[in-house]
């Protein structure tokens, strides 16, 4: 019954595709939005649309208050020590690029960065761009079951390692990485740790103090918020090691024609007019997630993943990637069916109203490790049901018939 109520909060789930109920299985790309969040965007534009941190009139004060309140909600949500540790950005990609420009720019040619082969391009390309400065990049490999080779990890870390940048949960394999252990390894060796938490913060309880991370990146649109807003968490002491990201309005204290001084963080890193309605709406998305409860989110998705792994593994010709056990993975399942190209599979599924993603999911190095150019991927959120999984399996069996598998 409660699930029915939750599904009712997401107006888009009533959509029909080709006359059939839409089965949305692409929440890893972006989640759907509850009406409670959509309503707040409308409310901002209809009632108090104005810029933040400048006007002294009533609605400008309201906008600033709501914007800063959202920052507080997010800080509490990930158990940051203070809202000062929350920087609003466009999404996980911009968050990681902020670390690259504001923190990693000072690295020297002999320094090293360690990442892993399972990363999203957003957590590879910014570091590749540092290669021209002579920074060495090392990537930890994966085992056959899609878990990280932790022994190799330990061997790769040297006194030259300045940053370890690793995903909390893989957007393809679903692997939940041992991030607490990795943070400990980083700190024991004097390196900073960055978690790409785009696929964890929306789906499970995440506590930045417990994980002891220095940087954490995530996107609002994957956690019931709108597109165009995301978060970089920075441990307060690390701000000492950072320079501004972009220069402009909002981030300055004083400007002269010869020099300028900066505001304190987090404002130092928020140049220009931010995505005000986006930040406010993300605050309400966090309220919505907290009302459900992150433990419950995790449990629901685990139950679905377990059910899906069991059902999918019975489909003849299927190859599923990542850990076999639902206990060790998030609600993401990548697979291939016989020699059907993932795009063809997604097209046939779409005809039956089942929306999955296909392609390399912005993880080309991982796909080359897996020996394929593309995979099909189903991913879950709180609004998905066992019936959705059954529809997926039925649609795959129809695809088998079409392709004679």
CB nearer ligand 7TS, residue 63 or residue 304: 304
The Cα–Cα gap between 365 and 383 comes to: 31
Query: What number of CA atoms fall less than 13 Å from residue 90's CA on the CB side?
Result: 9
What is 129-187 written as a DSSP string? GGGGGT-EEEEE-B-TTS-B-HHHHHHH--TTEEEEEEESB-TTT-BB--HHHHHHHHH
Q: What is the CA radius of gyration of the chain?
A: 22
Those residues whose C-beta lies under 8 Å from the C-beta of residue 190, and which sit 6 or more positions away, are 159, 161
CB nearer ligand 7TS, residue 10 or residue 218: 218
CB nearer ligand 7TS, residue 64 or residue 177: 177
Exposed/middle/buried for residue 337 (C-beta within 10 Å: 0-12, 13-18, 19+):
buried
Please, what is the minimum distance in Å from the beta carbon of residue 213 to ligand 7TS? 15
Please, what is the minimum distance in Å from the beta carbon of residue 259 to ligand 7TS? 33
Token pair belonging to 305: 């993943």
3-state secondary structure of 53: coil
Options 147, 161, 199, 305; binder of ligand 7TS; rule CB under 6 A: 199
Note the helical H segments in 158-293: 179-188, 208-211, 276-292
Contacts to ligand 7TS from residues 167-186, by CB under 6 A:
167, 171
Contacts to ligand 7TS from residues 100-129, by CB under 6 A:
120, 122-123
Number of residues that bind ligand 7TS (CB under 6 A): 17
29 binds ligand 7TS (CB under 6 A): yes
CB nearer ligand 7TS, residue 29 or residue 129: 29
The Cα–Cα gap between 377 and 334 comes to: 4
Q: Exposed e or buried b for every residue in 59-80, given b needs 16+ CB within 10 A? A: ebebbbebbbebbebbbebbeb
The Cα–Cα gap between 393 and 24 comes to: 14
Q: Which stretch binds ligand 7TS (CB under 6 A): 194-202, 233-241, 245-253, 271-279?
A: 194-202
Options 66, 112, 196, 301; binder of ligand 7TS; rule CB under 6 A: 196
Options 302, 361, 367, 400; binder of ligand 7TS; rule CB under 6 A: 361
Options 219, 277, 305, 375; binder of ligand 7TS; rule CB under 6 A: 219
CB nearer ligand 7TS, residue 81 or residue 343: 343
CB nearer ligand 7TS, residue 95 or residue 251: 95
Report the side by side order of strands in the sheet with 192-196: 86-89, 230-234, 215-219, 192-196, 161-167, 112-116, 136-140
Query: What number of CA atoms fall less than 13 Å from residue 227's CA on the CB side?
Result: 4
375 binds ligand 7TS (CB under 6 A): no
Residues in contact with ligand 7TS, shown as a per-residue x/- string from 321 to 360 under the rule CB under 6 A: ------------------------------------x---
Token pair belonging to 218: 């995530």
Please, what is the minimum distance in Å from the beta carbon of residue 339 to ligand 7TS? 24
Please, what is the minimum distance in Å from the beta carbon of residue 49 to ligand 7TS? 25
* Residues recognised as catalytic: 362
Options 34, 91, 322, 330; binder of ligand 7TS; rule CB under 6 A: 91
Residues that bind ligand 7TS (CB under 6 A): 28-29, 91-93, 120, 122-123, 167, 171, 196, 198-199, 219, 357, 361-362
């Amino acid at each position: 019954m409660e699930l029915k109520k939750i599904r009712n909060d997401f107006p888009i789930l009533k959509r029909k595709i080709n006359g059939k109920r839409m089965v949305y299985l692409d929440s890893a790309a972006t989640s759907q939005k509850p009406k409670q969040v959509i309503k707040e965007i409308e409310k901002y534009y209809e009632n108090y649309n104005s810029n933040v941190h400048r006007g002294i009139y009533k609605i400008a004060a309201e906008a600033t208050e709501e914007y800063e309140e959202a920052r507080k909600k997010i800080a509490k949500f990930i158990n940051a020590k203070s809202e000062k540790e929350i920087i609003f950005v466009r999404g996980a990609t911009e968050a990681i690029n902020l670390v690259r420009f504001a923190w990693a720019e000072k690295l020297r040619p002999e320094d090293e960065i360690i990442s892993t082969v399972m990363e999203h391009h957003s957590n590879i390309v910014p570091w590749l761009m540092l290669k021209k400065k002579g920074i060495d990049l090392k990537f930890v490999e994966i085992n056959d079951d899609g878990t990280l080779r932790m022994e190799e990890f330990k061997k790769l870390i040297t006194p030259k390692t300045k940053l370890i940048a690793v995903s909390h949960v893989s957007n393809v394999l679903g692997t939940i990485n041992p991030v607490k252990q990795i943070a400990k390894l980083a700190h024991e060796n004097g390196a900073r740790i960055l978690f790409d938490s785009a696929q964890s913060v929306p789906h499970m309880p995440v506590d930045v103090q417990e994980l002891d991370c220095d940087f954490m990146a995530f996107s609002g649109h994957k956690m019931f918020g709108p597109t165009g807003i995301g978060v970089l968490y920075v441990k307060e002491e690390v701000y000492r090691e950072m320079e501004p990201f972009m220069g402009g309005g909002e981030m300055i204290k004083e400007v002269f024609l010869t020099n300028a001084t900066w505001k304190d963080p987090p404002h130092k890193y928020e140049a220009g007019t931010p995505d005000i309605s986006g930040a406010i709406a993300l605050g309400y998305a966090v309220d919505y997630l907290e009302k459900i409860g992150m433990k419950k989110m995790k449990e629901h998705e685990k139950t679905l993943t377990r059910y899906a792994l069991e059902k999918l593994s019975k489909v003849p010709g299927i190859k599923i990637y990542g850990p076999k056990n639902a206990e060790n993975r998030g609600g993401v399942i990548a697979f291939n069916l016989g020699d059907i190209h993932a795009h063809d599979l997604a097209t046939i599924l779409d005809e039956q109203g089942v929306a999955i993603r296909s392609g390399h999911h912005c993880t080309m190095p991982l796909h080359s490790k897996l020996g394929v150019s593309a995979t099909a991927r189903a991913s879950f959120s709180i609004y998905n049901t066992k019936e959705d999984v059954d529809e997926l399996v039925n649609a795959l069996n129809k695809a088998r018939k079409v392709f004679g598998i």
